[in-house]
Amino acid sequence: MGLVSGTSVDGGTALFAALVHLGGAGKYIHWGFVQISLANLIVIAVMIVLFVAAIALPFPRHETRRK
């Protein structure tokens, strides 16, 4: 039995199997009239982190050419 419950997978496949059980009912966050799935909330959070990191982190530079 691999990491995905109910699915028979060998050891090699288990390495690539989902760490989170993806076969169950989705989890939702409720905030007043706002309802969003946890998965979508995580995706939005990752995008915000990416955006902030892209602005904050220095870009590796090398010798520039001038025409």
22 vs 29, beta carbon nearer other proteins: 22
Contact between 57 and other proteins by CB under 8 A: the answer reads yes
Binder of other proteins out of 5, 8, 35, 64 (CB under 8 A): 64
Return all residues near 18 (Cβ < 8 A) that are at least 6 apart: 3, 4
Residue 53 DSSP SS3: helix
29 vs 52, beta carbon nearer other proteins: 52
Q: Alpha-carbon distance 17 to 15, whole Å?
A: 6
Contact between 30 and other proteins by CB under 8 A: the answer reads no
